[in-house]
Amino acid sequence: MIKPSKRVAAREQFFSVLFALFLREIKTRFGERRFGWLWVIGEPLLHLFVLLTVFVFLSNHMMPQVPFELFLVTGLIPYFIFQRAVTGLMASIDSNKALFAYRPVKPIDTYITRLILETLIYLCVFVVIIFGFGFFMGLDISIYHPLMTLGIFFVLLTMGFAFGVIASLIVDVFPTAKIIIKVLMMPLYFLSGIMYPLWIVPSQYLHYLQYNPIVHLVELLRESYFSHYPVVNGISLLYPLIVTVVALFIALYFYRFRRFALAAKP
Amino acid sequence: MIKLDRITKSYLLSGGNRHYVFKDLSFTFPEGANIGLIGPNGAGKSTLMNILGGIDIPDSGKVITNKSISWPVGLSGGLQGSLTARDNVKFVARVYGYRAAELAEKVRYVEEFAEIGEYFDEPIKTFSSGMRARVTFGLSMAFDFDYYLVDEAGAVGDANFKKKSMAVYKQKLQSGNVILVSHNMSEVRSLCDHIVVIYGGNAHVFDSVEEGIKMYEEIRTVQ
C-alpha cells in the first residue's frame, strides 16, 4: 500500500473531523426534544413567520416595485444568517472545549461546522418560505440574477465567519464580553435596512447607515433577487468586500496566535 | 521520542500571586519504555499529563515528539450526555479518520468491552459512573497509540472490570507504551520500566523502578 503524503492525510483528517462534528451537532440538536428534527428547521421558520405576519399587517409600506413579503424575507434571512454565524461561532469554543482533548479536533473545525450548519438551516427556511409564498400567495418568486444572489450570500457568510471568529477570540479572553456583543447585535436589526427600504431614509442619515456593511449586502441581495429594485446611491459591493477581507485577516491572524490557548482547559 | 523543552507552567492564584508548577523544565522521556510518573500531591503530575495530552498549554516552552499520544485514558469530558454511547464512540472514531467497516469494528470493540448490554444505545447521561467508566476506558483502548496517558490505572470499576482492564493494558503495551500517574506502587511495578519522579518543579528520571520508588518514599517520609 502506498502511504499517503502528509498533505493528503491532513486534508482527509480535516474533512473527517468536519463530518464527525457536523453529525454530532445535528444529532445533539435533534435529540433535545421530541420531534427534534422538526424543530431544527421549525423554530427559525416559526420565528420568521411571526415576524413576517406582524410586519406585513402592521406596516403600510406601499412598494410598487416588489412584494413587501419578499422584501422582508430577503432582508431577514441574510440578517439571521449573519447574526447566527456570529453568536454561534462565539459560543462554539465553550460548547466544544472538551472535544479538543481528541487531538485531530481543532477550534477552527468547530467554527466551520457551526457556520455550515446555521447556513444550511436558514437556507432551508428561506426555501420553504419562498416556496410557501409562491404556492399559497401566488407571488412571483423567481430570482432575477441567481449567480449574483449566491455571490452575495458567500460574501455574507465569509463576513459572518470573520466576525464570529473575532468575537470568539475576544470572549475567550474576556468572558463578559459575550453580553456586550449580544447587546451590540440588537440594534443591527434596525440598522441593516431589513424592515424598511433605504429610499425612505432621509439622506442626512443614510450616509451613517451606509457604514454598516450588512446594509450594502442586503440591498445588493435584493437588487439581484428582484428585476426592478431601486438601489440608492452609495451602495456598493466593494465596501462590504473590503470589510470582509480585513476582518478575515484580523480573525485568522489572531486565531493563529491563540489556537492552542483556545483548545486548552480554562 | 518525547522531549520537554524549557516548559514553564504557572497558575494565577485568587490572591493575585502566581504559582509556578514548572520553571524551565527540560527532560527527555526514556525511549520506547513504560513510564511511571510519581510524586506527592500537587507536584504537577496531572498538569504534566495534560500538557502531554495537549489539553493544557505551557506558558512557554514546548513538547517535541514524533509519537502519537492518546487523550487521557478514561476521559469522560468529551462525551455528549444527550447522545448514546454508540453515537459518542462513532464520533471519536470518525474524528480519528475511521470509516465504514473500520468504524463498525471500533464500535463493536467498545460495545463488547463495556459489556453494558442494551444501555449502549441509551443516552450517556443516564449511565452510572461505573458504566461510563467502562465505555470511556474501552474507547481509549479501541485505538492504537504509541503512548497512552493513564491517570490511576485501576481507579474505577468493580473487581471484575479492574482485572479485565489490567489484561487489556498488558496487551496494549506489547505495541504501545504507557505513561502512568499513580500512587499505587504495586501498579507502577507491574506496568512500568522507568520512573520519573516529579518533585519541587523538577523531574528526576530513573532507569530503575526500585530506585525511583525509593526516592518517592524518601520524599514522603520527609514531608
**pTM of the predicted protein model:** 0.89
Angle, nearest 10°, between helix axes A68-96 and A146-173?
40
pLDDT tier at B31 (50, 70, 90 boundaries)?
confident
Paired with B179 in beta bridges are B35, B149
Q: Is residue A80 one of the residues assigned to a domain?
A: yes
Quote the number of domains for chain A: 1
The predicted structure's pLDDT at residue A11: 86
**Residue A100 to residue B72, Cβ atoms within 8 A:** no
* Helix ranges, chain B (H): 45-53, 85-95, 100-114, 129-141, 159-172, 185-191, 209-222
The predicted structure's pLDDT at residue A258: 92
Residues in chain A: 266
- A264 part of contact set with chain B, CB < 8 Å: yes
Provide the ipTM: 0.85
> Which has more pLDDT, A121 or B74?
A121
How far A22 CA sits from the closest chain B CA (Å)? 10
Nearest Cα to Cα of residue A152 among A58, A101, A220: A220
Q: Hey, what's the cell of A208?
A: 451613517
Cα distance between residue B25 and residue A150, in whole Å: 54
User: Taking a contact as any Cβ pair under 8 Å apart, which residues of chain A between 101 and 120 contact chain B?
Assistant: 101-105
Cα distance between residue A101 and residue B151, in whole Å: 15
Q: Is residue A4 one of the residues assigned to a domain?
A: no
**Residue A20 to residue B78, Cβ atoms within 8 A:** no
How far A20 CA sits from the closest chain B CA (Å)? 5
The predicted structure's pLDDT at residue A106: 93
Q: Is residue A6 one of the residues assigned to a domain?
A: no
**Residue A101 to residue B77, Cβ atoms within 8 A:** yes
The predicted structure's pLDDT at residue A228: 86
- Where b means 16+ CB within 10 Å and e means fewer, A205-233 reads ebeebbebbbbbbbbbbbbbbbeebeebe
Q: Is residue A85 one of the residues assigned to a domain?
A: yes
Q: Is residue A60 one of the residues assigned to a domain?
A: yes
Torsions phi, psi for A103 (to 5 deg): -50, -40
Mutate to test the interface with B, among A99, A173, A259, A260 (most CBs of B within 10 A): A99
One pLDDT digit (tens) per residue for chain A, 266 residues? 344 445 567 888 899 999 999 999 988 887 766 677 777 788 888 888 888 888 878 776 667 778 888 898 999 999 999 999 999 999 999 989 889 989 899 999 999 999 999 999 999 999 999 999 899 888 888 899 999 999 999 999 999 999 999 999 999 999 999 999 999 888 898 899 888 888 888 888 898 999 999 999 999 999 999 988 888 888 999 999 999 999 999 999 999 999 988 988 76
Question: pLDDT digits over B174-219, tens only?
Answer: 888 999 998 888 888 888 899 999 988 888 899 888 888 999 888 8
Q: Hey, what's the cell of B175?
A: 505495541
- B12 part of contact set with chain A, CB < 8 Å: no
- A95 part of contact set with chain B, CB < 8 Å: no
Q: Across the interface, which of A13, A17, A101 has its CB nearest the CB of B55?
A: A101
Range of the domain at A148: 11-263
The predicted structure's pLDDT at residue A266: 64
**Mean predicted confidence (pLDDT) in B98-113:** 93
Find the largest Cα–Cα distance for chain B. 56
Rg (CA), chain B: 18
pLDDT tier at B153 (50, 70, 90 boundaries)?
low
The predicted structure's pLDDT at residue A2: 40
Closest residue in B to A106 (Cα–Cα): B95
Q: Is residue A128 one of the residues assigned to a domain?
A: yes
Q: Is residue A115 one of the residues assigned to a domain?
A: yes
Q: Across the interface, which of B69, B80, B90 has its CB nearest the CB of A28?
A: B80
Share above pLDDT 90 across residues of chain B, in percent, rounded to a whole number: 36
Nearest Cα to Cα of residue A121 among A32, A40, A33: A40
> Which has more pLDDT, B145 or A244?
A244
Q: Is residue A161 one of the residues assigned to a domain?
A: yes
Closest residue in B to A100 (Cα–Cα): B55
Torsions phi, psi for B203 (to 5 deg): -115, 125
Half-sphere exposure of B150 (CA within 13 A, CB side): 33
